[in-house]
Structure 1
């Protein structure tokens, strides 16, 4: 189950525990980074509600992991994001780069290819690579075997010849 957790009540947490669900929580770092783009319909940041959901999951001993969307802001704070996720108890992390396209520039004349413009909050590939490399070095030095990061686990497994 992947969610921001905002609607996870005590009843839902009891159900998730009883049926042994693994819950993926979407959180993009500390409050100032998360609330930049994660907002409710009323325009308020969702950080406090997401943290409350994580605490509720922990109180019911529901296993959770985190999914962090890397955008044009938090990409500049890899260690802050990583240490924050560890501090809230995330043992399994996923980092997904944001690449959002806008309205296509369509030329109906048939003489040129359609192109898409990249939205401002998307992450350039080199910035995402630097973000992941920084976290990788921290993970290798301190957290292998204790923190599980999908991209790194897959890479190391392939490097060691263990498939995917």
Structure 2
């Protein structure tokens, strides 16, 4: 395979980090940790950023995180939390497909993480799964260790099975829907964290959303397909097709007579427009505060950077010899803590910068200029933000008018 040739971003470099620290910048400590407990998957999803992107380093990773790597990672997390006086943090057991690690390994991992953090730290454990193997036995194990569960589900059978199939070409919807049903309706309902749905423009947005609602999810995360300026996402332009798709979801969700679920992308957008703080780091310019640990113990940047070029997520750091504080000072991680200063010149001059935040970091990549660009979804994000802002402004005007009349 010919790997994509790329130019390193014009910024940041190590000297930039040193200069900013000298000028008074203090890194925001990490509060979320993604552990790649298994580096293979039992599905072959067509849009997968792990196994179908520019980066093939997963082939070099051990399939399962070894016990000694789990122990060292748990110690590093505890060290970081203690150093910064943090009493709460989240850990996501991730993959590949984490359930492939097996019951014994995940049970041990959860126990080691909690023991290392100690009783003074509230450690929120979560599991991100494709749902194919999520049996009652697995749910019992998650309940035993207080592990909340999120499942990837792209809509009804036709929508889901278009992409999320096994290596044999067989769709996975029936198995995943059964697993989500067990999670939603049984005694393990408190473990249900939400559903992740990757947008496909061919799917009717309202029908997709309403199918997900049948499982009564506490939250739904609609994900833009991974893409960048070198490898654009499917169906992008002309016009703003992803904004149009999400706007129809917004109208259905926002216009409901009662709150049916959370749609975090839309809630974060509204919060930022109203001067609040988003819950996730998908929008806005708040410091990025999560780390990824590969199965071999390597410390990595956001693994969606694999869609840019081979090795894009690598940092050269490892839990065996490096602290998470060292990761915070890696140029690629540090730049995502610099707020507006970490954006491209075009984004810094945009009136929507503090809402959009430049878009997802991986979506900014262009071979000639690295990540110093707006998101490939720039037009769609701007269109959606503008429409949502208009709707909120109109509703606020009506409320003010009603209040004035009542007075």
Larger radius of gyration: 2
Cα distance change, pair 72–159 in 1 and its aligned pair in 2 (3 A): closer
CA contact (8 A) 1:78 1:134 kept: yes
Task: State the match for 1:142 in structure 2.
Answer: 256
For 1:99 and 1:143, locate their aligned partners in 2 and report how far apart those are by CA, in whole Å.
33
Task: State the match for 2:236 in structure 1.
Answer: 124
Task: State the match for 1:107 in structure 2.
Answer: none
Task: State the match for 1:162 in structure 2.
Answer: 276
Confirm whether residue 83 of structure 1 aligns to residue 195 of structure 2: no
Correspondence list, 1:30-109, <5 A: 30-58=156-184, 59=186, 60-61=188-189, 62-74=191-203, 77-100=204-227
Task: State the match for 2:136 in structure 1.
Answer: 10
Q: CA deviation at 1:130?
A: 0.6
Question: What's the CA shift string for 1:34-70, capped at 9, x where partnerless?
Answer: 1011101211000001011112223232313110011
Query: 5+ residue gaps in structure 2?
Result: 1-126, 279-407
Cα distance change, pair 157–116 in 1 and its aligned pair in 2 (3 A): closer
Taking structure 2 as the reference length, the TM-score comes to: 0.34
Query: 5+ residue gaps in structure 1?
Result: 102-114
Question: What's the CA shift string for 1:127-164, capped at 9, x where partnerless?
Answer: 11111111111111106643101111111111222222
CA contact (8 A) 2:192 2:217 kept: no
For 1:117 and 1:146, locate their aligned partners in 2 and report how far apart those are by CA, in whole Å.
36
Structure with the higher strand share, 1 or 2: 1
1:26 corresponds to which of 146, 152, 167: 152
Cα distance change, pair 143–11 in 1 and its aligned pair in 2 (3 A): farther
For 2:155 and 2:267, locate their aligned partners in 1 and report how far apart those are by CA, in whole Å.
21
For 2:178 and 2:135, locate their aligned partners in 1 and report how far apart those are by CA, in whole Å.
10
Counterpart of 1:85 in 2: which secondary structure? helix
For 1:162 and 1:24, locate their aligned partners in 2 and report how far apart those are by CA, in whole Å.
26
Greater mean deviation of Cα atoms: 139-148 or 87-96: 139-148
